């Protein structure tokens, strides 16, 4: 169970030259093949990820540590997980009754916000932004990852916090990293459900049918544009199908008003209970 997670962590991350590899350029200043990912971010730095084992970071002179960290733990980390054959979901995840619930949605749809609210209801945040998923034998597991919730200023108001003392996600962004106080658990969590977030007049939750559910998982794969140049199309589709079969995908709609979060969170808690029976 969770075999791919039980092997030792053996990624070599270092400050070192990051020259472009001999790989196709899929976007300006982005080169990708099955074993290499390279990205050159103006005024931030170059990032080279090789063979799921090495990450070279070459910051630009004067680049802020926060901006370098954001790209290292974002696009570069997503590429590393893809190279290792894992499914990186663009998601936030919370442990409810000991099992993981992962929230997927386009940017700005409230993934971190609902994770934050569930944390304040006594549940543990497992990871935010990138969730590494393994599937096999009809089961799905999620490994703890980065747990600094990325919250816009308005969402901070829902927990009576201000940005004072918080690190911006990027230097010019009004979005902040909010540390999670509870200690992390170094184990793979059973993934009980994947929840696609959306907006609606009243909180409601319902399962998605197969084709729509698998499509949502494909669309919410972190840096999914890397799948084709890495030659992982068939494996990626299989992972998404297996994840749907193991955990299912539900759509949760809720009003944008932050004072209605409690109703949406209660639906998630009920779903997790139902999936555990």
List phi, psi (to 5°) of 158.
-70, -20
CB 89 within 8 A of CB 131: yes
User: What would the pLDDT profile of 154-176 be if each residue is shown by its tens digit?
Assistant: 677 666 677 776 777 767 777 77
Q: What pLDDT is stored for residue 186 in this prediction?
A: 72
**pLDDT at residue 5 above 50?**
no
Range in 41-45, 78-82, 107-111 the model is least confident about: 107-111
For 105-127, letters b (16+ CB in 10 Å) and e give: beeebbbbbbbbbbbeeebbbbb
Mean pLDDT across the chain? 88
Q: What pLDDT is stored for residue 258 in this prediction?
A: 84
Question: Could you give the CA distance from residue 88 to residue 132 in angstroms, rounded to a whole number?
Answer: 5
Instruction: Name the β-bridge partners of 73.
Output: none
Share of the chain above pLDDT 70, in %: 86
User: What would the pLDDT profile of 179-197 be if each residue is shown by its tens digit?
Assistant: 666 556 678 899 999 999 9
Give the residue-averaged pLDDT of 40-54: 96
Question: Tokens 């590429």 correspond to what residue?
Answer: 79
Q: What pLDDT is stored for residue 33 in this prediction?
A: 97
Confidence of residue 8 (pLDDT cuts 50, 70, 90): low
Give the residue-averaged pLDDT of 206-215: 96
**pLDDT at residue 11 above 50?**
yes
Share of the chain above pLDDT 90, in %: 63
Question: Could you give the CA distance from residue 207 to residue 226 in angstroms, rounded to a whole number?
Answer: 28
Range in 55-59, 156-160, 186-190, 254-258 the model is least confident about: 156-160
3-state secondary structure 111-136: HHHHHHHHHHCCCEEEEEEEEEEEEE
User: What would the pLDDT profile of 64-107 be if each residue is shown by its tens digit?
Assistant: 988 898 899 899 999 999 999 999 999 999 999 889 999 999 88
**pLDDT at residue 276 above 90?**
no
């Amino acid at each position: 169970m969770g075999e791919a997670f039980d092997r030792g962590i053996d990624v070599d991350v270092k400050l070192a030259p990051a020259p472009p590899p001999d790989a196709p350029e899929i976007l300006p200043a982005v080169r990708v093949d099955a074993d290499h990912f390279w990205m050159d971010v103006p005024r931030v730095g170059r990032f080279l990820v090789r063979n799921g084992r090495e990450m070279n970071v070459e910051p630009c002179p004067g680049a802020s540590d926060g901006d370098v960290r954001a790209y290292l733990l974002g696009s570069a980390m997503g590429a590393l997980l893809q190279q290792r054959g894992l499914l990186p979901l663009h998601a936030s995840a919370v442990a409810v009754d000991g099992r993981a619930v992962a929230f997927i949605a386009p940017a700005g749809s409230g993934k971190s916000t609902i994770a934050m609210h569930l944390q304040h209801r006594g549940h543990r945040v497992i990871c935010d932004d990138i969730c590494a998923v393994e599937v096999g034998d009809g089961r799905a597991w999620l490994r703890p990852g980065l747990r600094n919730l990325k919250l816009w200023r308005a969402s901070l108001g829902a927990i009576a916090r201000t940005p004072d003392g918080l690190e911006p996600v990027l230097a010019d962004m009004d979005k902040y990293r909010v540390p999670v106080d509870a200690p992390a658990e170094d184990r793979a969590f059973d993934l009980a459900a994947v929840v696609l977030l959306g907006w609606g007049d009243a909180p409601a939750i319902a399962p998605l049918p197969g084709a729509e559910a698998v499509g949502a998982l494909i669309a919410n794969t972190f840096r999914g544009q890397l799948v084709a140049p890495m030659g992982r199309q068939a494996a990626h589709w299989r992972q998404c199908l297996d994840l749907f079969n193991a955990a299912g995908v539900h759509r949760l709609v809720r009003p944008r008003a932050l004072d209605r979060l409690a109703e949406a969170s209660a639906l998630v808690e009920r779903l997790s209970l139902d999936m555990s029976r």
